[in-house]
Amino acid sequence: MLPELGNFAIILALSFAMLQSFSPLFKQNIRFVQIGTTSAVAQLIFLSLAMFILICNFINNDFTVLYVREHSHHLLPFFYKIGAAWGGHEGSLLLWCLILSAWTIAFVFFSRKNLPRNIYSTMIAVLGALSTGFIAFLFLTSNPFKQDFPDSPMVGNDLTPLLQDPGLIFHPPALYMGYIGFVIPFAFAIAALLDGKLDNQWARACKPWVILPWAYLSCGIVLGSWWAYRELGWGGWWFWDPVENASLLPWLSATALLHSLIVSEKRNVFKGWTILLAIITFGLSLMGTFLVRSGILISVHTFANDPARGIFLLSFLAFIIGGAFFLYAVKIKDFYQASQFNLVSRETALLINSVILLTAMASIALGTLYPIILDSLNLEKISVGEPYFNIIITPIILILLLIMGVAPHIHWKQQSILLLWKKLRISLLLSIVLGVTLPWALGFKIHLLTCVGLAFGLWVIISTLQYCFTSKSSNHIPMITAHLGIAVLVLGITINKSYSEERQVKLFLNEKTSLAGYDFTFKKLDETIKSNYQSQIATFLIHKNEKKAGTLKAEQRIYLSHDQLFSKPGIHYNVFRDLYLTLGAQHSDGSWSIRVYYKPFVRWIWFGGFMLLLGGFFTFIPIRKRELL
């Protein structure tokens, strides 16, 4: 009964999405616009209902529903049953539609009054059209409520052990909030193109709708990295996996958009560029979805695939984004406006910033798509891995950091280089000196590249703090937080990359091994049985200079439904380092293979990412007054 109701809810949501996509086009009559708004509300209600029903199906172990059968098991713990609702392709797509609809309603609620009817109704129609596309995709190719009734008794296949982690509850929703949120700036861009004008009011109304999804996406990426670190068991936090890249691409382009939008808001220039970036950002979100869900690239994230899905998504992408770029090509000349600013000005700095971010985006996109491109051209077959990305991204990031330190100090319109130099030379000197001496002070070996990385990170911190203390207004707290976040992230990455250590050993019970000045003693081995897995837990005592520094438990699980070994690393952490240990196979002589990692400053990476989220949310604190121009 429930699954049929779920199907019905999706059909109703689809009908309302269609209504929403054309009714507001009759914008002369306010009634029709209101119908559009009401349909959006109805759509949210029915999609929420569908999601609720799906979760109920999971909780009730309704294995007649194929999706539930594939991703659940009656022994699966309660919270993972809820998370499993979006642990596979169909359910995560329902979540996607639901979030799209929620963003639409948030937009209606906060921005309806601030926008002219013209712009507002176009946007509602665009959002409706996109929603129609996604719900149709859900219903036609990926229905989560599909049922069958086999004669044999039904058992669930269970959720992949890798997904049985609290990360599942938070990571996909946060990431999707980011991905899909860029639909609002996209709709803003289309409305501006059709309307033929873009002013400060437009930029001001659009800005929160870029910042918010940007903050969510930052958070989603960081959560994903943290999850991979804890679950995958080899101590890495970023793998340049195609799907990770797919989330990084819209992030980079959204960061560029954010900065360009600030210029459009304050100075009324770069309008064409802002619109282009809004289209690109959402286009990259869509392309990411396509890459993940079509199975075109092989990755840990790939969902089970079906060629019809890839064709549907690619056609949808071509129609929506191709249409937007076409509109851009035809209409953008109306936006051209002579702008007056000097070569050395904040406008230039922000323009360079967005160009560099876009370059970074393009390089990563190229690396990710390269295997597909070469194959299409029948050239050599290759796979692109970490070395390419590291080499290409490092210099781009360094230039970006350099500009990040200077840009806030530069005035709008024009700036004397001499004054700038006088203002910043001490900070510059300080960061170079600290960059060179910091590894030494922390007791690390000194490498050139490490010092460079540290100096650039410190440069951003020092010059941003200098800005923070010299400018009296509190307007810039979000920017300062986010910039410091990036710097903290860079420091974390630099130190982590340079000084991580690892070691693989064979240990018997009560034997010990040492790494980076820590001794690890294999103290005991316990066995436990949980609802859906059995596990062996190895306890290690950690000593540093003969003093006890803590204990660490590494686990090896066997999931009953999968008959699959799964190793869960033990982590002992503090602000400055993680000690990370994975339990490998047991040898025939009774000893265990063990891999130990020393990961300095790894938490700084995620903390930096968290500061980006914080910076994004700070913009919504109302005490902040708009800078008067």
Partner 1 sequence: MNIIKIKFVVPLLVFFLVVGFLWHGLKVNPNHIPSPLINQPAPAFTLPQLFSPNEITSRDDFIGHVTLLNVWATWCNTCLEEHDFLLKLSNIESLRIVGLNYKDDTSLAKQWLQENGDPYHIVAVDSSGNTGIDWGVYGTPETFIIDKKGMIRYKHIGPINATIWKKTLHPIIIQLRNETL
The 487-516 site mask, x for binding partner 1 (CB under 8 A), equals: -----------------x------------
Instruction: Kindly tell me which of 110 and 326 has the beta carbon lying closer to partner 1.
Output: 326
Q: What are phi and psi of 386, to 5 degrees?
A: -55, -45
155, 330, 355, 433: which one contacts partner 1 (CB under 8 A)? 330
78, 79, 326, 440: which one contacts partner 1 (CB under 8 A)? 326
> What letter does residue 297 receive in the DSSP assignment?
S
273, 290, 522, 559: which one contacts partner 1 (CB under 8 A)? 290
Contacting range for partner 1; rule: CB under 8 A; set: 148-156, 208-216, 329-337, 342-350: 329-337
Contacting range for partner 1; rule: CB under 8 A; set: 39-47, 77-85, 102-110, 323-331: 323-331
Cα torsion 272, 277, 279, 280: sign: positive
> What letter does residue 503 receive in the DSSP assignment?
E
Instruction: Kindly tell me which of 227 and 456 has the beta carbon lying closer to partner 1.
Output: 227
Tokens 């294999």 appear where?
Answer: 522
Two tokens, residue 430: 């300080």
Q: Return the CA Rg of the chain.
A: 26
Which residues inside 236-275 make contact with partner 1, applying CB under 8 A? 236, 239, 241, 272
Contacting range for partner 1; rule: CB under 8 A; set: 19-27, 65-73, 383-391, 435-443: 383-391
Instruction: State yes or no: residue 391 binds partner 1 (CB under 8 A).
Output: no
Two tokens, residue 336: 């051209």
Q: How far is the CB of 306 from partner 1 (least distance, A)?
A: 10
Instruction: Kindly tell me which of 380 and 589 has the beta carbon lying closer to partner 1.
Output: 380
Contact (CB, 8 A) for 278 and 257: yes
Q: How far apart are CA 431 and CA 433, in angstroms?
A: 5
Instruction: State yes or no: residue 369 binds partner 1 (CB under 8 A).
Output: yes
Contact (CB, 8 A) for 183 and 105: no
Instruction: State yes or no: residue 234 binds partner 1 (CB under 8 A).
Output: yes
Instruction: State yes or no: residue 598 binds partner 1 (CB under 8 A).
Output: no
Cα 20 off chain centre by: 29
Contacting range for partner 1; rule: CB under 8 A; set: 93-101, 321-329, 528-536, 542-550: 321-329
Q: How far is the CB of 310 from partner 1 (least distance, A)?
A: 5
Cα 397 off chain centre by: 18
What count of Cα atoms within 13 Å lies in the side-chain half-sphere of residue 461? 18
Contacting range for partner 1; rule: CB under 8 A; set: 188-196, 348-356, 367-375, 544-552: 367-375
Instruction: State yes or no: residue 371 binds partner 1 (CB under 8 A).
Output: yes
The 104-123 site mask, x for binding partner 1 (CB under 8 A), equals: --------------------
Q: How far apart are CA 207 and CA 266, in angstroms?
A: 12
Instruction: State yes or no: residue 379 binds partner 1 (CB under 8 A).
Output: no
4, 199, 386, 501: which one contacts partner 1 (CB under 8 A)? 386
Instruction: State yes or no: residue 419 binds partner 1 (CB under 8 A).
Output: no
Instruction: State yes or no: residue 322 binds partner 1 (CB under 8 A).
Output: yes
For residue 476, what are the CA distances in angstroms to 170, 216, 465, 627?
A: 29, 20, 11, 10
Instruction: State yes or no: residue 192 binds partner 1 (CB under 8 A).
Output: no
13, 135, 269, 321: which one contacts partner 1 (CB under 8 A)? 321
Total residues binding partner 1 (CB under 8 A): 53
Contacting range for partner 1; rule: CB under 8 A; set: 214-222, 232-240, 351-359, 421-429: 232-240
Instruction: State yes or no: residue 536 binds partner 1 (CB under 8 A).
Output: no
Which residues inside 550-579 make contact with partner 1, applying CB under 8 A? 562-565
CA 146, 312, 3: angle at the middle one, nearest 5? 15
SS (HEC) of 536-598 = EEEEEEEEECCEEEEEEEEEEEEECCCCEEEEECEEEECCCEEEEEEEEEECCCCCEEEEEEE
Provide CB contacts within 8 A for 366, sequence distance 6+.
Answer: none
Instruction: State yes or no: residue 517 binds partner 1 (CB under 8 A).
Output: no
Q: How far apart are CA 475 and CA 468, in angstroms?
A: 10
Q: How far apart are CA 89 and CA 156, in angstroms?
A: 16
Instruction: State yes or no: residue 449 binds partner 1 (CB under 8 A).
Output: no
Length of the chain measured in residues: 629
- Provide the β-strand partners of residue 571: 580
> What letter does residue 302 receive in the DSSP assignment?
P
30, 355, 373, 429: which one contacts partner 1 (CB under 8 A)? 373
List b or e across 449-480, with b for residues whose CB sees 16 or more CB atoms inside 10 angstroms.
ebbbbbbbbbbbbbbbebbbeeeeeeebbbbb
Instruction: State yes or no: residue 596 binds partner 1 (CB under 8 A).
Output: no
314, 392, 515, 525: which one contacts partner 1 (CB under 8 A)? 314
Cα torsion 493, 496, 499, 503: sign: negative
Instruction: Kindly tell me which of 38 and 363 has the beta carbon lying closer to partner 1.
Output: 363
Instruction: Kindly tell me which of 457 and 569 has the beta carbon lying closer to partner 1.
Output: 569
Instruction: State yes or no: residue 433 binds partner 1 (CB under 8 A).
Output: no
Q: How many CB atoms lie within 10 A of CB 373?
A: 10
Instruction: State yes or no: residue 9 binds partner 1 (CB under 8 A).
Output: no
Instruction: State yes or no: residue 339 binds partner 1 (CB under 8 A).
Output: no
- Three-state DSSP state, 527: strand
Contacting range for partner 1; rule: CB under 8 A; set: 76-84, 242-250, 328-336, 462-470: 328-336
Instruction: Kindly tell me which of 164 and 463 has the beta carbon lying closer to partner 1.
Output: 164
206, 248, 297, 404: which one contacts partner 1 (CB under 8 A)? 297
Provide CB contacts within 8 A for 403, sequence distance 6+.
Answer: 349, 352, 353, 356
For residue 492, what are the CA distances in angstroms to 234, 497, 498, 508, 608?
A: 18, 8, 10, 34, 8
Instruction: State yes or no: residue 382 binds partner 1 (CB under 8 A).
Output: yes
Contacting range for partner 1; rule: CB under 8 A; set: 46-54, 299-307, 413-421, 474-482: 299-307
Contacts with partner 1, residue ranges (CB under 8 A) = 234, 236, 239, 241, 272, 276, 279-280, 283, 287, 290, 294-298, 300, 305, 307, 310-311, 314, 317-318, 321-322, 325-326, 328-330, 332-333, 369, 371-373, 375-376, 380-383, 385-387, 504, 562-565, 585, 593
